[in-house]
Amino acid sequence: MIKKKYLNSKKSFDIGITVDRTSPGEMIDLHRMTVDEALPALDRYLNRAFMAGLNTVYIMHGKGTGTIKRATITYMNSHPLVRALRPAWADEGGDGVTVAVLVN
């Protein structure tokens, strides 16, 4: 927990901030989500994965119509924690999975 002390002309007080560094796992499953549900879930996952020190993560979006796949790839292309993207190999999930390499 990080404690910061803010000074006020009348009084000072402590604010506690807790950072969760537990690993969310190497994969997130976005199946059966709408784009409006998937993108915030993906953002939370990427932040937690970065804080946990993960280097490579797997985004399971499924094949379906490709809507979630396109939305997640577009989103991750401009995400500050994502260094690179690549399609998953067949033994990693093939077309239904995108692999993201996070910044160090």
Whether residue 28 is contained in a domain is answered as yes
Q: Residue 7: what pLDDT?
A: 57
Q: For residue 95, is it within any domain?
A: yes
Is residue 87 in some structural domain? yes
Residue, of 15 and 53, whose pLDDT is higher: 53
Q: How confident is the model at residue 15 (pLDDT cuts 50, 70, 90)?
A: confident
pLDDT of residue 2: 56
- The number of distinct structural domains making up the chain is 1
Instruction: Check which CATH number belongs to the domain holding 83 and give it.
Output: 3.30.1370.110
Helix 67-77 vs helix 35-51: crossing angle, to nearest 10: 40
> Does the residue 71 lie in any domain?
yes
pLDDT category, 8, cuts 50, 70, 90? low
Domain range enclosing 48: 23-102
- The HSE-up count of residue 70 (CA atoms within 13 Å, CB side) is 4
Q: Is the pTM of this model over 0.85?
A: no
Mean pLDDT of 67-94: 97
Nearest to 78 by CA among 52, 39, 49: 39
Residue 11 lies in a domain: no
Residues 6+ apart with CB under 8 A from 21: 51, 52, 53
In a domain, 27, yes or no: yes
Consecutive H or E run containing 4: strand 2-7
Answer yes or no: is 1 within a domain.
no
60 strand-pairing partners:
29, 97
**Does 3 map to a domain?**
no
